[in-house]
Chains A and B, each alone.
Chain A
Amino acid sequence: AQRVTQPEKLLSVFKGAPVELKCNYSYSGSPELFWYVQYSRQRLQLLLRHISRESIKGFTADLNKGETSFHLKKPFAQEEDSAMYYCALRGGSGTYKYIFGTGTRLKVLA
């Protein structure tokens, strides 16, 4: 079964501090992993995907198949990073179920 776990509901860090939002997944095949973000009063939107292996707004995420993790990291948090972050997994095998975690609220304190 597909499952995405985000263990932290809330993460508070000070501006300039490093950030790591945790995401663990369960999937028997080769999944695609994504991070979505929802800023205040905005729609949920894609932040990055593991296939792209890119850095968006200073955030990176590496897929670790051994630990079944896809943690989101940023070396220096900014106040504008405060938002709700969701980790998502899309399976394959013709089903393309797109499963989201429960989300982590990131608060960056001045």
Chain B
Amino acid sequence: DSGVTQTPKHLITATGQRVTLRCSPRSGDLSVYWYQQSLDQGLQFLIQYYNGEERAKGNILERFSAQQFPDLHSELNLSSLELGDSALYFCASSVDVVTGELFFGEGSRLTVL
């Protein structure tokens, strides 16, 4: 499958901990987007990378960070986790910043206890 791949699919951890979510974009896609979806919330835009560089930032907390590596996969690091960080985290990719269509992964469901 050459679609967007996210790991892990499910993650349960405790408050105060740190986790890393991984995203592999579609083959050939240079742009990666991260979104957070909490209960009854829409998709909250966190951050976007294009070919390794940060291009746009949304309401991403300082406790969260991300990066895109030379092989174009991306990681979202969440630290000092709080109960409110429990959410579905989506990664999406696109060929470039102009094309417009986003291709989504299945999401990583994070539960903070």
Q: Which residues of A contact B (CB under 8 A)?
A: 4, 6, 9, 32, 34, 36, 43-46, 49, 51, 86, 90, 95-103
> What are 22 A-to-B residue pairs whose CB atoms are below 8 Å?
A4-B42, A43-B3, A44-B92, A44-B104, A49-B100, A86-B42, A86-B43, A95-B56, A96-B97, A97-B45, A97-B48, A97-B58, A98-B48, A99-B45, A99-B58, A100-B35, A100-B42, A100-B43, A102-B40, A102-B42, A103-B42, A103-B43
| Interface residues of B, count at CB 8 A | 22
Q: Given A102-B42, A103-B42, verify A96-B48 contact (CB < 8 Å).
A: yes
Give the residues in chain A near B45, CB-CB below 8 Å: 97-100
Give the residues in chain B near A43, CB-CB below 8 Å: 3, 104-106
Beyond the given pairs A44-B90, A90-B100, A99-B58, 19 more chain A to chain B contacts, judged by CB atoms under 8 angstroms and listed by A's residue number, are A36-B102, A43-B104, A43-B105, A43-B106, A44-B92, A44-B104, A49-B101, A86-B42, A95-B55, A96-B55, A97-B45, A97-B48, A98-B33, A98-B45, A100-B45, A101-B42, A102-B41, A102-B42, A103-B42
